[in-house]
Every structure is written in structure tokens, then in C-alpha cells.
């Protein structure tokens, strides 16, 4: 079945870096755009980044531009998020999600990985 | 930026009742690009409705979506125990391209 599994979360100091990964299975990864969405503790959902299936379109929410980089490795069916210059406000559960083509929605989600930025 | 405002913040309902959740946008949203999600504690969100009114795969027909322009509604016709959760609306459009409402918590009365 369609499955997404995130990894790479942990505790990092402000200004530090972390790289998240999302392993995709059960579908043709190269055919789908992919997203990262985060949720701060006790808060709502915030979209973070998007990469189209052909990698020709990449978008970020303003608050992470210049600090986060989304990428994908089709040979490994893996989505990544490189997070640099981390801030306290980046503390959240990070979900990878598959794009529902033509509808701008997220049709499959991973269970999430927790990122804690703390001194 | 298109801001989505959901109401009420919390909705207290009984089993078997009909629940109506509202999502209002600060600017017009294409019906193609309006979605609803359900999230239970400790779990990832689940897509319920896309295109404002189309049910996602495996979603029971007691869930329905409607609306256009700036006003959208998620209706749950007869509440089951598993329906008590937080619900989010989401739009795709102007920068940032994807935004969520703040959520409505549906709790059992």
C-alpha cells in the first residue's frame, strides 16, 4: 500500500542543522509532487515546502526561505529536507505528504518526525 | 495571503447528531483547491474531502463538503464515536500557495 515514513528528527541547538528524510513506497514516486508540512506542539498545520515530480518547481513558506532545502532522490524513492540555521520556532512534528495532482491537496501523509530546537 | 478562518473553534455534539463545520476564506478560493482533513491525537492528518466536495478514497458517505467562493462547509451527517477529532480546511492558491485554517475541535457532549 501507499506509505510514507519520515526519519531524522531529534534535538538540536538554535543555529544548528538537521536533515529529514521520507521513504516512499507503494506508488510510482517519480510521478508525484511531494510536500513537507509541520505542526508545532499544540498548534495547527503549516505547509513548509513543495517539490514537483520533475523538480522544476520548488516552493517554500517565507519563514524558511534561505534556510531549508527540499530535494528528492528518485532512484531511492526518498524525499529530503535539509534544515539549517534552525530557530526555536522551527520546533514541530514534520510530516511528508504526497501531492494530490491537480487539486492542491495532500492525499497521503507519513506519521511524522519530531524536531526540537532547544538550548 | 489567503487566510482561512474556521468556526466554531470547538463544537460539542452527541452521537448520531449532524455536525456542520465552517471555513471562510479572506479571498475567493477555487472549489478545485479546497480540501478538508481530519486529525486525531498523536496521528497524522487524513484527507477527507478535496475539490470542495469530492470524498477521498475510503471516506464514509456521512462526510460531505460543499460551498464556493469564500464560504465552505464540512458536514458529518450522523456522528460516530470515531469522528471526534480536529478538522482542518486547506486551500491552494496565492502565495504562500498552501494555507490551512486554524482547526475546529469536534468533541463529544
Phi, psi of B62 (to 5 degrees): -75, -15
**What is the structure's pLDDT at A57?**
95
Phi, psi of A89 (to 5 degrees): -75, -5
Cβ A94 vs Cβ A9: under 8 Å: yes
Q: What grid cell was written down for B32?
A: 478545485
**What is the structure's pLDDT at B96?**
80
Q: Is the dihedral of CA A65, B3, B102, B36 positive or negative?
A: negative
Phi, psi of B60 (to 5 degrees): -60, 155
**What is the structure's pLDDT at A80?**
98
Q: Are the beta carbons of B44 and A44 separated by less than 8 Å?
A: no
d(CA A71, CA A58): 9
Mean pLDDT of the B47-76 span: 98
Residue of A44, A59, A111 lying closest to B103 (CB–CB): A44
- Compute the nearest-CA separation of B98 from chain A (Å): 6
Q: How far is CA B29 from CA B58, B65, B91, in A?
A: 26, 14, 7
Chain B residue numbers with beta carbons less than 8 Å from the beta carbon of A111 are 43-44
Residue B95 has pLDDT above 90, yes or no: no
Mean pLDDT of the B69-95 span: 96
A93-108 pLDDT, tens digit each = 999 999 999 999 999 9
**What is the structure's pLDDT at B94?**
74
A42-91 pLDDT, tens digit each = 999 999 999 999 999 999 999 999 999 999 999 999 999 999 999 999 99
Substitution target from A1, A45, A96 for chain B, most B beta carbons within 10 A? A45
Q: Are the beta carbons of A105 and B100 separated by less than 8 Å?
A: no
Amino acid at each position: 500500500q501507499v506509505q510514507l515514513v519520515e526519519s531524522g528528527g531529534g534535538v538540536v541547538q538554535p543555529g544548528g542543522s538537521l536533515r529529514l528524510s521520507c521513504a516512499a513506497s507503494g506508488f510510482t514516486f517519480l510521478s508525484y509532487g511531494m510536500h513537507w508540512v509541520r505542526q508545532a506542539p499544540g498548534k495547527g498545520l503549516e505547509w513548509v515546502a513543495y517539490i514537483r515530480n520533475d523538480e522544476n518547481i520548488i516552493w517554500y513558506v517565507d519563514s524558511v526561505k534561505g534556510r531549508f532545502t527540499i530535494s528528492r532522490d528518485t532512484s531511492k524513492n526518498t524525499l529530503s529536507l535539509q534544515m539549517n540555521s534552525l530557530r526555536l520556532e522551527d520546533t514541530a512534528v514534520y510530516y511528508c505528504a504526497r501531492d494530490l495532482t491537480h487539486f492542491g491537496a495532500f492525499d497521503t501523509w507519513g506519521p511524522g518526525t519530531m524536531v526540537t530546537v532547544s538550548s | 495571503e489567503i487566510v482561512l478562518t474556521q468556526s466554531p473553534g470547538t463544537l460539542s455534539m452527541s452521537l448520531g447528531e449532524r455536525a456542520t463545520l465552517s471555513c471562510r476564506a479572506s479571498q475567493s478560493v477555487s472549489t478545485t483547491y479546497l480540501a478538508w482533513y481530519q486529525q486525531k491525537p498523536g496521528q497524522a492528518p487524513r484527507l477527507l474531502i478535496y475539490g470542495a466536495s469530492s470524498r477521498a478514497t475510503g471516506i464514509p458517505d456521512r462526510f460531505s463538503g460543499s460551498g464556493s467562493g469564500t464560504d465552505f462547509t464540512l458536514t458529518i451527517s450522523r456522528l460516530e464515536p470515531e469522528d471526534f477529532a480536529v478538522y482542518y480546511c486547506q486551500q491552494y492558491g496565492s502565495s504562500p500557495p498552501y494555507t490551512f485554517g486554524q482547526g475546529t475541535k469536534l468533541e463529544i457532549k
